C-alpha cells in the first residue's frame, strides 16, 4: 500500500515531508506525518513512586515533581499515521512490533479522538476520519525499562504525535496520563509538577510547569547508566502492590510529600542548590524505602547504585556542602544533579571510581565535559575501592523543553507505505 502524504496543520511543521507517491485511488484519504521527539524524565518527588489511587484513570496518591531532560541527549521519537487502508492498529517499539491492543494505548487513542470530535463538531470536511486505524512507531535513544522513564517519554510522545495527527491542541497532559501516569509531566519542559488532584474523574490531575528550562541555566545533569537490563518488576505492577501493602507509602503520601512539594518548589524558585540537592536525595531514598516496604519487596537499587550513593555522600562530605545530588527512579541508573562548575571534577571522580572496561571512547556521552585534575586529598577521601566496568557510560545533559516537532523528514519512523522504515 502506498499513500499520499498529507501534512497535518502546525505552523512549527514547516519542514514536514511532502512526498508525492502513488496512491491507490481513494482508499487512502489521509496519511499523517507527525514526528515528535520527546524527553526522558526523572523524579524529584516521586509520583509513580506514589502509586495510584485509581489504576484505570491513573490517578496518583500524591503530587510529584520532575525535571524534563534535554532531548538532544535523551529522547523518544514517534511517528503516527492513520489511513483508510490500515486494517488494524499496529505499534512498533524500537523496531519490534508489539500488541497495539493494550488498554493504555487504546485509552490514549480514544481520548485524542474524543477531543478531535469535540473540536471538529460537525465539520464533515475534516480530512482524517476518526474511524481509521493507526500505525505508530516509536524509538528511544536510551535503555528501555531501566528506570529512565522510557514509558513516560514514550506515552508523552505518542499523545503529542496523535494530537498532531488529529489536529488537537491545548491541554494534553490529562490524556498522556492515561497512557503512563508520569507521561503527563513529559508534556512540558523544565520543572514540572503533577498535581494529584481531588476529582474522582481525574480532570484536575494534570501537569503544570513551575519554571521553564531556562530558569536555572547552571543546573547540569549526569546520567550514570549502570545496566541496560530490564528491571525485574515493571514500575506499574510494582507500584500497585505498594499501595496495597506498604503502610509507609500511605504515610509518606499523606504526611511527608505535601510539605516536601512546597519546599521543593521554593528551592527551584530560589535556585538554592544546597536545599534542592538534599531534598532530592532524601526523597529518592524515601521512594525506594517504600518499595522495600512493599510485600513482596521491590528492589530497584543494586550494589552499584549503592556505591554511587556512597560516592556522592563522600564527595559532598569532602567539600563540606552539597555539590552533587542523586535521584533514582524505578531502576539502578543514577541521575545526578550538580551545578555546571562541578561537572568536570565529578565526572573524573566517577571515572576513577568506576574505570571503564574498554578504551573509554564511549564512556562519556552527550554534552562536552572538560578535563579535571583531581587534588590528591580529594582522591584519597572520595575514590575508595574502585569497581572497573560497573558503569557502562555517563551521559551529560541538562534540563530541556517539552515535545518538539522534528524538522528532519529523514528521521520519520514510518515510510509512505505506513510501515517502519528499515533505516530509521
Cβ-based nearer residue to a second copy, 205 or 290:
290
Closest CA relative to residue 180, chosen from 78, 104, 76, 253:
104
Counting DSSP H helices and E strands in the chain, the numbers are 10, 16
Cβ-based nearer residue to a second copy, 313 or 396:
313
- Binder of a second copy out of 15, 232, 237, 387 (CB under 8 A): 232
Phi and psi at 360, nearest 5°, equal: 90, 5
- Cβ atoms of residues 259 and 424 within 8 Å: no
- Binder of a second copy out of 310, 374, 421, 424 (CB under 8 A): 310
Residues linked to residue 66 through DSSP beta bridges, in sequence order? 43, 192
Q: How far is the CB of 355 from a second copy (least distance, A)?
A: 20
User: How far is CA 17 from each of CA 174, 255, 393, 409, rounded to the nearest angstrom?
Assistant: 30, 52, 35, 5
Cβ-based nearer residue to a second copy, 40 or 324:
324
Distance, CA of 415 to CA of 341 (rounded, Å) = 44
Q: Is 244 in the site for a second copy (CB under 8 A)?
A: no
Q: Is 251 in the site for a second copy (CB under 8 A)?
A: yes
- Cβ atoms of residues 76 and 154 within 8 Å: yes
Residues in the chain: 424
Distance, CA of 111 to CA of 104 (rounded, Å) = 11
- Binder of a second copy out of 32, 177, 178, 252 (CB under 8 A): 252
Cβ-based nearer residue to a second copy, 72 or 303:
303
Peptide bond into 296 cis (omega under 30): yes
Per-residue cell: 35:
514526528
Q: Is 94 in the site for a second copy (CB under 8 A)?
A: no
Q: Is 253 in the site for a second copy (CB under 8 A)?
A: no
Which segment (111-119, 211-219, 275-283, 411-419) binds a second copy by CB under 8 A?
275-283
Q: What is the DSSP letter of 414?
A: B
Question: Could you say which residues in the range 278-307 bind a second copy, by CB under 8 A?
Answer: 278, 281-282, 285-286, 288-290, 292-297, 299, 301-303, 306
- Binder of a second copy out of 121, 247, 320, 370 (CB under 8 A): 247
Q: Is 125 in the site for a second copy (CB under 8 A)?
A: no
Q: Is 320 in the site for a second copy (CB under 8 A)?
A: no
Distance, CA of 116 to CA of 206 (rounded, Å) = 19
Distance, CA of 93 to CA of 99 (rounded, Å) = 10
Rounded (10°) angle between helices 273-292 and 257-270? 150
Cβ-based nearer residue to a second copy, 241 or 342:
241
Q: Is 381 in the site for a second copy (CB under 8 A)?
A: no
Q: How far is the CB of 302 from a second copy (least distance, A)?
A: 6
Q: Is 255 in the site for a second copy (CB under 8 A)?
A: yes
Cβ-based nearer residue to a second copy, 251 or 386:
251
Distance, CA of 204 to CA of 375 (rounded, Å) = 52
Cβ-based nearer residue to a second copy, 154 or 238:
238
Q: Count of residues binding a second copy (CB under 8 A)?
A: 30
Residue numbers at the binding site for a second copy (CB under 8 A): 232, 245, 247-248, 251-252, 255-256, 278, 281-282, 285-286, 288-290, 292-297, 299, 301-303, 306, 309-310, 313
Amino acid at each position: 500500500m502506498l499513500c499520499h502524504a498529507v501534512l497535518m496543520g502546525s505552523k512549527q511543521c514547516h519542514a514536514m515531508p511532502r512526498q508525492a507517491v502513488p496512491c491507490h485511488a481513494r482508499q487512502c484519504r489521509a496519511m499523517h506525518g507527525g514526528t515528535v521527539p520527546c524527553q526522558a524524565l526523572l523524579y524529584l518527588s516521586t509520583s509513580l513512586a506514589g502509586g495510584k489511587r485509581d489504576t484505570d484513570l491513573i490517578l496518583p496518591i500524591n503530587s510529584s515533581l520532575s525535571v524534563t531532560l534535554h532531548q538532544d541527549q535523551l529522547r523518544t521519537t514517534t511517528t503516527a499515521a492513520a489511513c483508510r487502508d490500515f486494517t488494524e492498529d499496529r505499534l512498533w517499539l524500537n523496531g519490534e512490533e508489539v500488541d497495539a491492543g493494550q488498554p493504555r494505548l487504546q485509552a490514549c487513542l480514544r481520548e485524542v479522538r474524543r477531543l478531535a470530535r469535540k473540536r471538529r463538531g460537525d465539520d464533515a470536511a475534516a480530512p482524517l476520519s476518526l474511524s481509521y486505524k493507526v500505525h505508530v512507531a516509536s524509538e528511544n535513544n536510551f535503555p528501555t525499562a531501566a528506570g529512565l522513564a522510557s514509558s513516560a517519554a514514550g506515552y508523552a510522545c505518542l499523545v503529542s504525535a496523535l494530537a498532531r495527527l488529529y489536529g488537537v491542541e491545548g491541554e494534553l497532559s490529562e490524556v498522556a496520563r492515561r497512557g503512563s501516569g508520569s507521561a503527563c509531566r513529559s508534556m512540558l519542559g523544565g520543572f514540572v509538577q503533577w498535581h494529584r488532584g481531588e476529582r474522582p474523574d481525574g480532570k484536575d490531575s494534570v501537569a503544570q510547569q513551575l519554571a521553564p528550562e531556562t530558569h536555572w541555566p547552571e543546573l547540569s545533569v549526569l546520567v550514570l547508566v549502570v545496566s541496560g537490563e530490564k528491571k525485574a518488576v515493571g514500575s506499574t505492577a510494582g507500584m500497585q502492590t505498594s499501595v496495597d501493602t506498604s503502610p509507609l507509602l500511605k504515610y509518606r503520601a499523606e504526611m511527608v510529600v505535601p510539605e516536601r512539594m512546597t519546599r521543593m518548589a521554593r528551592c527551584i524558585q530560589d535556585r538554592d542548590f544546597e536545599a534542592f540537592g538534599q531534598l532530592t536525595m532524601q526523597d529518592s531514598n524515601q521512594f525506594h524505602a517504600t518499595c522495600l516496604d512493599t510485600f513482596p519487596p521491590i528492589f530497584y537499587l543494586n550494589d552499584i547504585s549503592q556505591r554511587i550513593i556512597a560516592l556522592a555522600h563522600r564527595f559532598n562530605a569532602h567539600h563540606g556542602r552539597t555539590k552533587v545530588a542523586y535521584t533514582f527512579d524505578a531502576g539502578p541508573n543514577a541521575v545526578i544533579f550538580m551545578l555546571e562548575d562541578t561537572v568536570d571534577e565529578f565526572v573524573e571522580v566517577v571515572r576513577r571510581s568506576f574505570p571503564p572496561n574498554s578504551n573509554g571512547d564511549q564512556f562519556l556521552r552527550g554534552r562536552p565535559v572538560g578535563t579535571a585534575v583531581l587534588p590528591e586529598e580529594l582522591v584519597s577521601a572520595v575514590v575508595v575501592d574502585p569497581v572497573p566496568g560497573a558503569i557502562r557510560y555517563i551521559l551529560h545533559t541538562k534540563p530541556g523543553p517539552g515535545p518538539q516537532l522534528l524538522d528532519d523528514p529523514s528521521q520519520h519512523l514510518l515510510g509512505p507505505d505506513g510501515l517502519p522504515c528499515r533505516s530509521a
